[in-house]
Amino acid sequence: MPTASIAVTGNANVATDTIVGGNRHVRRPFSPIMRTARRLWKSKVPEHFAAITGKSTRSCERWLAGHVDPDGPSTLTMIFAEPAFLDAAVSELSLKEQARFWKEVEKGAKRNLMRIQRAELDEKIKAMDAGE
C-alpha cells in the first residue's frame, strides 16, 4: 500500500482504522472460549494453547487478546485436548455465537476428513502406478 503524507491524505487515522478493523469494541464470538481457557489454566495460557495446537505462542497470544479467532482445526484440537473446555466454553456463548462456533467446528472436521481422504487416494494412486 503506498504511503502519503498527512497533508495529502487529510486524516491519516481513517485509513489505519479501516486496515485494523475500525470498531475494536465488537464482541468476538471466541472471547468466551478464551476466558474459559484462562479459568482452566491459571498461568501460561498461550504456552498451553501452543503445545496443544502446534501454533506459535504469538498466534495464541493474539487469540487471547481477541485480535483474531482461532481457526477451525485449532479449535477442534483444543476441544479434544480438554473435554471440560468444550462444556465450559459453549455454555457461555449466546445462541448466535453457538451457531458460529459449531459451524467452525464442522468446517474444521470436514477439512480434516478431506485431508485424510486425499492421503488415502494418494496412496491408492501410488499403488496403481507401482502396479503398471
pLDDT tens for 46-79 read 898 889 889 999 988 888 887 888 887 887 788 7
DSSP 56: -
Q: Which of 118, 120, 99 is nearest to 110 (CA)?
A: 118
Q: Write down the pTM of the prediction.
A: 0.47
Q: CB neighbours (10 Å) of residue 85?
A: 19
pLDDT tens for 12-27 read 333 333 334 454 554 4
